Amino acid sequence: MESKNSTVVTEFILLGLTQSQDAQLLVFVLVLIFYIIILPGNFLIILTIRSDPGLSAPLYFFLGNLAFLDASYSFIVAPRMLADFLSKKKVISYKGCITQLFFLHFLGAGEMFLLVVMAFDRYIAICRPLHYSNVMNPRTCYTLLLALWLGGFTHSIVQVALILHLPFCGPNQLDNFFCDVPQVIKLACTDTFVVELLMVSNSGLLTLLCFLGLLASYAVILCRVQGQSSKGKNKALSTCTTHIIIVFLMFGPAIFIYTRPFRAFPADKVVSLFHTVIFPLLNPVIYTLRNQEVKASMRRLLSQHTVS
């Protein structure tokens, strides 16, 4: 590998999701409708949690942050993708590509760590209820929040540092609708075996270990729930089931994309679409629809503004 970056490529051409004009139009309309309907719902969740003193528990504090992270994550790819559908030449500058890649992994890793924190919160609440208020105090919650942001930043800066070290001097066509590590690395004018190995370790292995750890933790929680009263058991089961659904939505596509050698598969673009646009917006909504307290608070907030 060259010790000095000899990049001469100043922009990348995005080949997009599909070359079919009819398919592009269909995806554009569906994603736009989905975006317009679901994105305000994420901000409504944040507003509801912030405005209701009854939703001050750590569970809702982390849910509000999940909604914020997911809404922010969706802004990285979706708006540009929608704009590119209307453009004949889909071009992104080298700096713009690196910036998109940085925020994609920064917020993505942050959300991954947030799901780990939420699992820890549920473990303490269900398995150590008498210690919950002492362990999950406001200081601990903010410390965990800071830690997950720093973890996401560290993960992303490593990805970007490895990319910036690579020379790009030839082809500049990215076979995707956004910039991500697997496609960008393949355009480097050097042997990328070591870099790919480091990337798989940084993204793939980390994602897989977090996923397996989360499944194990929820398995322990569900075993402990069996001995609780019927009311407490049902509430805990509902909460944990929602968390597990979100874990699969978040980690499933990430594992598919990052835990294997960077070779193209036919399903890559579809999986990436769900991973970067659809699932991030759905996660908080899925959680809210299964949480009676948040739904009741949201109805009160909407009725207040409707009456006024």
Among 88-97, 102-111, 221-230, name the one with the lowest average pLDDT. 221-230
pLDDT above 60 for 266: yes
The reply to whether 209 falls in a domain is: yes
Query: DSSP states of the chain as a string?
Result: --SS------EEEE--S-S-HHHHHHHHHHHHHHHHHHHHHHHHHHHHHHH-GGG-SHHHHHHHHHHHHHHHHHHHHHHHHHHHHT-SS-EEEHHHHHHHHHHHHHHHHHHHHHHHHHHHHHHHHHHSGGGHHHHT-HHHHHHHHHHHHHHHHHHHHHHHHHHHTS---S--EESSSS--HHHHHTT-SS--HHHHHHHIIIIIIHHHHHHHHHHHHHHHHHHHHTTS-HHHHHHHHHHHHHHHHHHHHHHHHHHHHHSS-S---TTHHHHHHIIIIIHHHHHHHHHHHT-HHHHHHHHHHHHHHHH-
Give the structural domain span for 221.
11-299
Mean pLDDT estimate for the chain: 86
- CA distance linking residue 129 with residue 221, whole number of Å: 12
pLDDT above 80 for 308: no
Please report, for the domain that includes residue 160, its CATH number. Answer: 1.20.1070.10
Give the model confidence (pLDDT) of 175-218 as tens digits: 889 999 888 998 999 888 888 888 888 888 889 999 999 999 99
- More confidently predicted of 7 and 74: 74
Q: What is the mean pLDDT of residues 102-125?
A: 93
Torsion region of 174: left, alpha or beta (phi above 0 gives left; psi -120 to 50 gives alpha): beta
- CA distance linking residue 308 with residue 302, whole number of Å: 10
The reply to whether 306 falls in a domain is: no
- In the chain, the number of structural domains is 1
For the record, the structure tokens of 153 come out as 């930043």
The reply to whether 5 falls in a domain is: no
pLDDT above 70 for 2: no
Can you give the pLDDT at residue 229?
66
- More confidently predicted of 140 and 303: 140
